[in-house]
Structure 1
Amino acid sequence: MSAPHTDVEEVEAANTAFYQAVEEGDFEAVSGLWLTPADLGVDETYHDPADAGVISCVHPGWPVLTGRGEVLRSYALIMANTDYIQFFLTDVHVSVTGDTALVTCTENILSGGPAPTGGDELGPLVGQLVVATNVFRRTPSGWKLWSHHGSPVLAGEDEQDGEEPPS
């Protein structure tokens, strides 16, 4: 097996692990999948970790979040306020150049919150379509997220009626 093919498989595995950790509400796993200053060889004694290899994240409808603190806090909030979330990834494309990888995909998201009556059951499940770009960096401990950008796909009027959009 060639090294480039292995890199693509490793990036695909890291990308899958990211979505799986969010689905499971595993904050430790999510945290471990994002770059740290140490991953970049930055000595935090002499450099502010917020300024070194800044990670970034854009959730649909949110402003740009930069730095590990802001990014990880956003995932903690999402996981704390979402009772159920599942990602069905489609149109996944991986490109690797050197120590950087780019993954583009469509996130078909199914999520639900607490039931309106306040019971233990889930409230109505809601579907959302998001296109995402995930940028990974190779580290000594594997591929880690450098940036995630998700943008909602808004259905046109015809698409909402189940018809194909005009070409």
Structure 2
Amino acid sequence: MENFHAQVQTPAANLEGDADDIEAAFYDALQHGDIDKLMACWADEDEIFCIHPGGPRVIGATAIRATFEAMFADGGAVRAWPERLRKITSMASSVHNVLERVEVLTEQGTANAWVMATNVYHRTAQGWRLVAHHASPGTTSEIREVSDAPSVLH
């Protein structure tokens, strides 16, 4: 009998892609409440961490998975979309600062909240993977961006 191991491709994203592919897979998994796809975006490292808005630092894949499972249990998904992105990328890491638009349910119905998130990706043996996600507490007004770039060209 021939012994072989089938290679299983992760549902996270195209492993030949880049950090943008993993980020797209991460937000897609949030929106669909897909915990396996979401966790496939994370690196296989002991020190990965996640900070949800106003929450503690959650360290390690098991603890991170538990926090997202709890979020998905309430409504099945997190309705969050990246609206604006600033990123710094080097050969083996990419830092994304994302303005997220999050749909929240209020007494008046569905409303938008805005959250600033920083996602850090590293290139690993498995391809690009998320190593840190830190989201600020949300606000109901869109967050302004302050930059030292001139607003008027002379």
Q: Normalising by structure 1, what TM-score?
A: 0.67
1:11 aligned to 19, 22, 45, which one? 19
Is it true that 1:143 corresponds to 2:151 in the alignment? Answer: no
**1:61 counterpart letter in structure 2:** G
Report which of the two has the higher share of helix: 1
- Give deviations 1:31-80, integer Å, cap 9, x for gaps: 1111114xxxxxxxxxxxxxx4x011110011111111111110111111
Report the secondary structure of 2:97's partner residue. Answer: strand
**1:11 counterpart letter in structure 2:** A
Q: State the partner residue of 1:28.
A: 36
Cα shift at 1:95: 1.5
Question: Structure 1 unaligned runs (5+)?
Answer: 1-8, 38-51, 117-122, 161-167
Cα shift at 1:84: 5.0
Q: How many residues align?
A: 126
1:95 aligned to 68, 88, 104, which one? 88
Separation in 2 of the partners of 1:124 and 1:140?
45
Q: State the partner residue of 1:152.
A: 137
Separation in 2 of the partners of 1:145 and 1:55?
8
**2:63 counterpart letter in structure 1:** E
Separation in 2 of the partners of 1:16 and 1:133?
14
Report the secondary structure of 1:152's partner residue. Answer: coil
Identity of aligned pairs, percent?
24
Cα shift at 1:154: 3.6
2:111 aligned to 110, 126, 146, which one? 126
- Give deviations 1:116-151, integer Å, cap 9, x for gaps: 9xxxxxx93232210000001112222111000000
The answer on whether the counterparts of 2:99 and 2:115 sit within 8 Å (CA) in structure 1 is: yes
Q: State the partner residue of 2:70.
A: 77
| RMSD, aligned α-carbons | 2.4
Report the secondary structure of 1:60's partner residue. Answer: coil
Question: Structure 2 unaligned runs (5+)?
Answer: 1-16, 143-154
